Amino acid sequence: MNSDTKLIFFNLDGTLVDGMEYFYQHLWEYFGVDKEKTRTLLKQYISGEVNYTQFVENDVRLLREAGATKRAIINAIMNLHPMEGAIETIRALHERSYKMFAISSGIDLVVEAVYGTESKDLFEEIFVNQYHFDENDVLAGATPARYDVDHKADCVKDMIQKYNAYSGNCIYVGSNETDAVAALLVGDSIAFNSKSERLVEVSTHHIESGNLFDIMKFLN
Protein backbone atom coordinates (compact mmCIF):
# COMPACT_ATOMS: atom_id res chain seq x y z
CA MET A 1 0.00 0.00 0.00
CA ASN A 2 1.33 3.42 -1.01
CA SER A 3 0.33 6.01 1.58
CA ASP A 4 1.32 8.82 -0.81
CA THR A 5 -1.15 7.84 -3.56
CA LYS A 6 -4.25 10.04 -3.60
CA LEU A 7 -7.31 9.17 -5.69
CA ILE A 8 -10.38 11.34 -6.29
CA PHE A 9 -13.58 10.07 -7.88
CA PHE A 10 -16.24 12.24 -9.52
CA ASN A 11 -19.76 11.42 -10.54
CA LEU A 12 -19.37 13.31 -13.81
CA ASP A 13 -22.91 14.67 -14.20
CA GLY A 14 -23.70 17.47 -11.77
CA THR A 15 -20.12 17.92 -10.60
CA LEU A 16 -17.68 18.30 -13.48
CA VAL A 17 -20.38 18.72 -16.14
CA ASP A 18 -23.29 21.16 -15.99
CA GLY A 19 -26.22 21.77 -18.31
CA MET A 20 -28.60 18.83 -17.89
CA GLU A 21 -29.73 16.49 -15.14
CA TYR A 22 -30.33 13.14 -16.84
CA PHE A 23 -28.51 12.58 -20.11
CA TYR A 24 -30.57 9.73 -21.53
CA GLN A 25 -33.88 11.52 -20.84
CA HIS A 26 -32.53 14.63 -22.55
CA LEU A 27 -31.72 12.64 -25.70
CA TRP A 28 -35.11 10.91 -25.68
CA GLU A 29 -36.85 14.29 -25.58
CA TYR A 30 -34.50 15.81 -28.16
CA PHE A 31 -35.16 13.02 -30.68
CA GLY A 32 -38.86 12.78 -29.88
CA VAL A 33 -38.78 9.18 -28.64
CA ASP A 34 -42.24 7.94 -27.68
CA LYS A 35 -42.73 8.68 -23.96
CA GLU A 36 -44.68 5.48 -23.36
CA LYS A 37 -41.72 3.46 -24.63
CA THR A 38 -39.26 5.35 -22.42
CA ARG A 39 -41.50 4.97 -19.36
CA THR A 40 -41.73 1.25 -20.01
CA LEU A 41 -37.95 0.94 -20.33
CA LEU A 42 -37.34 2.87 -17.11
CA LYS A 43 -39.89 0.76 -15.22
CA GLN A 44 -38.25 -2.43 -16.51
CA TYR A 45 -34.83 -1.26 -15.36
CA ILE A 46 -35.95 0.01 -11.95
CA SER A 47 -37.88 -3.20 -11.28
CA GLY A 48 -34.91 -5.35 -12.28
CA GLU A 49 -36.69 -6.87 -15.27
CA VAL A 50 -33.76 -5.75 -17.42
CA ASN A 51 -30.15 -5.22 -16.32
CA TYR A 52 -28.00 -2.21 -17.13
CA THR A 53 -26.54 -3.72 -20.30
CA GLN A 54 -30.04 -4.45 -21.58
CA PHE A 55 -31.13 -0.94 -20.62
CA VAL A 56 -28.31 0.56 -22.70
CA GLU A 57 -29.12 -1.74 -25.64
CA ASN A 58 -32.77 -0.68 -25.56
CA ASP A 59 -31.81 2.97 -25.17
CA VAL A 60 -29.70 2.70 -28.34
CA ARG A 61 -32.53 0.93 -30.16
CA LEU A 62 -35.02 3.68 -29.31
CA LEU A 63 -32.59 6.42 -30.37
CA ARG A 64 -31.65 4.60 -33.56
CA GLU A 65 -35.32 4.18 -34.48
CA ALA A 66 -35.68 7.93 -33.93
CA GLY A 67 -32.86 8.59 -36.42
CA ALA A 68 -30.05 9.53 -34.04
CA THR A 69 -26.73 10.28 -35.73
CA LYS A 70 -23.40 11.36 -34.28
CA ARG A 71 -23.83 14.91 -35.54
CA ALA A 72 -27.36 15.15 -34.15
CA ILE A 73 -26.26 13.83 -30.74
CA ILE A 74 -23.42 16.36 -30.64
CA ASN A 75 -25.94 19.10 -31.45
CA ALA A 76 -28.17 17.81 -28.66
CA ILE A 77 -25.42 18.19 -26.06
CA MET A 78 -24.03 21.52 -27.23
CA ASN A 79 -25.50 23.24 -24.15
CA LEU A 80 -23.33 21.16 -21.82
CA HIS A 81 -20.35 22.91 -20.27
CA PRO A 82 -17.84 22.50 -17.46
CA MET A 83 -19.25 23.26 -14.03
CA GLU A 84 -18.20 26.72 -12.86
CA GLY A 85 -14.76 26.36 -11.32
CA ALA A 86 -14.20 22.86 -12.72
CA ILE A 87 -11.13 23.75 -14.79
CA GLU A 88 -9.47 25.47 -11.83
CA THR A 89 -10.36 22.52 -9.62
CA ILE A 90 -8.82 20.01 -12.03
CA ARG A 91 -5.62 22.06 -12.24
CA ALA A 92 -5.40 22.34 -8.46
CA LEU A 93 -5.95 18.60 -8.01
CA HIS A 94 -3.17 17.81 -10.46
CA GLU A 95 -0.86 20.20 -8.61
CA ARG A 96 -1.65 18.27 -5.42
CA SER A 97 -0.84 14.97 -7.16
CA TYR A 98 -4.35 13.51 -7.18
CA LYS A 99 -5.22 10.83 -9.71
CA MET A 100 -8.67 11.68 -11.08
CA PHE A 101 -11.45 9.29 -12.07
CA ALA A 102 -14.84 10.01 -13.66
CA ILE A 103 -17.83 7.68 -13.33
CA SER A 104 -20.99 8.35 -15.34
CA SER A 105 -24.04 6.81 -16.97
CA GLY A 106 -23.53 9.31 -19.80
CA ILE A 107 -21.49 8.74 -22.95
CA ASP A 108 -17.99 9.38 -24.21
CA LEU A 109 -19.23 12.14 -26.53
CA VAL A 110 -20.22 14.21 -23.49
CA VAL A 111 -16.69 14.13 -22.06
CA GLU A 112 -15.23 15.03 -25.45
CA ALA A 113 -17.76 17.82 -26.03
CA VAL A 114 -17.16 19.41 -22.64
CA TYR A 115 -13.44 18.84 -22.06
CA GLY A 116 -12.14 18.17 -25.58
CA THR A 117 -9.74 15.49 -26.72
CA GLU A 118 -7.34 16.41 -23.90
CA SER A 119 -9.79 14.84 -21.45
CA LYS A 120 -7.71 11.65 -21.65
CA ASP A 121 -4.82 13.59 -20.14
CA LEU A 122 -6.97 15.13 -17.40
CA PHE A 123 -8.26 11.86 -15.97
CA GLU A 124 -6.47 8.69 -14.97
CA GLU A 125 -9.50 6.71 -16.16
CA ILE A 126 -13.01 7.55 -17.38
CA PHE A 127 -15.86 5.09 -17.01
CA VAL A 128 -18.75 5.98 -19.36
CA ASN A 129 -20.90 4.35 -22.01
CA GLN A 130 -19.37 4.39 -25.49
CA TYR A 131 -21.65 4.93 -28.48
CA HIS A 132 -20.75 3.36 -31.83
CA PHE A 133 -21.75 4.65 -35.27
CA ASP A 134 -21.90 3.04 -38.70
CA GLU A 135 -20.31 4.30 -41.92
CA ASN A 136 -23.17 6.78 -42.33
CA ASP A 137 -22.71 8.16 -38.80
CA VAL A 138 -25.97 6.56 -37.64
CA LEU A 139 -26.02 5.26 -34.07
CA ALA A 140 -25.34 1.53 -34.35
CA GLY A 141 -24.67 0.28 -30.82
CA ALA A 142 -22.98 0.93 -27.50
CA THR A 143 -20.48 -0.54 -25.09
CA PRO A 144 -21.92 -0.15 -21.57
CA ALA A 145 -19.77 1.51 -18.94
CA ARG A 146 -17.58 -0.91 -17.03
CA TYR A 147 -19.23 0.33 -13.82
CA ASP A 148 -22.91 1.16 -14.12
CA VAL A 149 -24.89 3.44 -11.82
CA ASP A 150 -25.40 0.67 -9.27
CA HIS A 151 -21.75 -0.39 -9.12
CA LYS A 152 -19.84 2.84 -8.46
CA ALA A 153 -18.65 1.36 -5.17
CA ASP A 154 -17.04 -1.50 -7.11
CA CYS A 155 -15.14 1.08 -9.15
CA VAL A 156 -13.79 2.72 -6.01
CA LYS A 157 -12.74 -0.64 -4.53
CA ASP A 158 -11.08 -1.78 -7.76
CA MET A 159 -9.18 1.47 -8.32
CA ILE A 160 -7.93 1.57 -4.73
CA GLN A 161 -6.59 -1.94 -5.22
CA LYS A 162 -5.23 -1.29 -8.71
CA TYR A 163 -3.30 1.81 -7.66
CA ASN A 164 -2.31 0.33 -4.29
CA ALA A 165 -3.81 3.31 -2.50
CA TYR A 166 -4.89 3.82 1.11
CA SER A 167 -8.65 4.41 1.22
CA GLY A 168 -8.20 7.12 3.82
CA ASN A 169 -6.36 9.23 1.22
CA CYS A 170 -9.17 8.91 -1.32
CA ILE A 171 -12.02 11.34 -2.03
CA TYR A 172 -15.45 10.89 -3.60
CA VAL A 173 -17.45 13.79 -5.02
CA GLY A 174 -21.03 13.06 -6.01
CA SER A 175 -24.52 14.48 -6.32
CA ASN A 176 -26.88 11.52 -6.76
CA GLU A 177 -28.47 8.79 -4.65
CA THR A 178 -26.34 6.23 -6.50
CA ASP A 179 -23.17 7.82 -5.08
CA ALA A 180 -24.02 7.04 -1.45
CA VAL A 181 -22.45 3.58 -1.13
CA ALA A 182 -19.24 4.66 -2.87
CA ALA A 183 -19.02 7.69 -0.59
CA LEU A 184 -18.72 5.37 2.41
CA LEU A 185 -15.57 3.69 1.09
CA VAL A 186 -13.18 6.65 1.15
CA GLY A 187 -11.58 8.92 3.70
CA ASP A 188 -13.56 12.00 2.72
CA SER A 189 -16.69 12.37 0.63
CA ILE A 190 -18.42 15.48 -0.64
CA ALA A 191 -22.10 15.79 -1.56
CA PHE A 192 -22.13 18.58 -4.14
CA ASN A 193 -25.50 20.28 -4.74
CA SER A 194 -27.12 16.97 -3.93
CA LYS A 195 -30.87 16.36 -3.83
CA SER A 196 -30.26 12.99 -2.21
CA GLU A 197 -30.84 13.06 1.54
CA ARG A 198 -29.05 9.74 1.85
CA LEU A 199 -25.90 11.01 0.13
CA VAL A 200 -25.88 14.16 2.27
CA GLU A 201 -26.27 12.04 5.40
CA VAL A 202 -23.39 9.65 4.66
CA SER A 203 -20.97 12.19 3.18
CA THR A 204 -18.24 13.85 5.21
CA HIS A 205 -19.10 17.24 3.74
CA HIS A 206 -22.10 18.83 2.01
CA ILE A 207 -21.76 21.84 -0.28
CA GLU A 208 -24.44 23.94 -1.95
CA SER A 209 -22.50 26.08 -4.38
CA GLY A 210 -22.39 27.25 -7.96
CA ASN A 211 -18.61 26.85 -8.01
CA LEU A 212 -16.91 23.45 -7.87
CA PHE A 213 -13.68 25.01 -6.62
CA ASP A 214 -15.33 25.35 -3.22
CA ILE A 215 -14.60 21.65 -2.61
CA MET A 216 -10.88 22.45 -2.44
CA LYS A 217 -11.17 23.79 1.11
CA PHE A 218 -11.77 20.20 2.23
CA LEU A 219 -8.84 18.65 0.34
CA ASN A 220 -5.17 18.40 1.24
Q: Could you report the per-residue pLDDT of 72-111, keeping only the tens digit for each?
A: 999 999 889 999 999 999 999 999 999 999 998 888 898 8
Q: So what's the pLDDT on residue 20?
A: 76
CATH of residue 93: 3.40.50.1000
CB 101 within 8 A of CB 128: no
- DSSP-derived letter for residue 178 is G
Query: Mean of the pLDDT values across residues 169-175?
Result: 96
Spatial separation of the C-alpha atoms in residues 138 and 140, rounded to whole Å: 6
**Does residue 20 or residue 45 have the better pLDDT?**
45
Query: Mean of the pLDDT values across residues 207-216?
Result: 96
Residue 95 within any structural domain of the chain: yes
Q: So what's the pLDDT on residue 202?
A: 97
pLDDT of 176 over the 80 cut: yes
Structural domains of the chain, count: 1
Residue 213 within any structural domain of the chain: yes
Q: Could you report the per-residue pLDDT of 117-137, keeping only the tens digit for each?
A: 777 788 999 999 999 999 999
- Domain extent for 203: 6-19+82-128+147-218
Q: Say what the pTM is.
A: 0.91
Q: Could you report the per-residue pLDDT of 21-37, keeping only the tens digit for each?
A: 778 888 999 999 999 99
Residue 74 within any structural domain of the chain: no
Banded model confidence at residue 165, pLDDT cuts 50, 70, 90: very high
Burial of 46 (0-12, 13-18, 19+ CB in 10 A): exposed
Residue 63 within any structural domain of the chain: no
CA 180 vs CA 10, 168, 183, 196, 206: distances in Å: 12, 17, 5, 9, 12
Query: Mean of the pLDDT values across residues 160-186?
Result: 95
pLDDT of 2 over the 70 cut: no
Q: So what's the pLDDT on residue 22?
A: 75
Spatial separation of the C-alpha atoms in residues 133 and 23, rounded to whole Å: 18
Residue 65 within any structural domain of the chain: no
Banded model confidence at residue 149, pLDDT cuts 50, 70, 90: confident
Residue 138 within any structural domain of the chain: no
Residue 111 within any structural domain of the chain: yes
CA 42 vs CA 1, 35, 50, 134: distances in Å: 41, 10, 9, 27
What is the residue-averaged pLDDT of the chain? 92
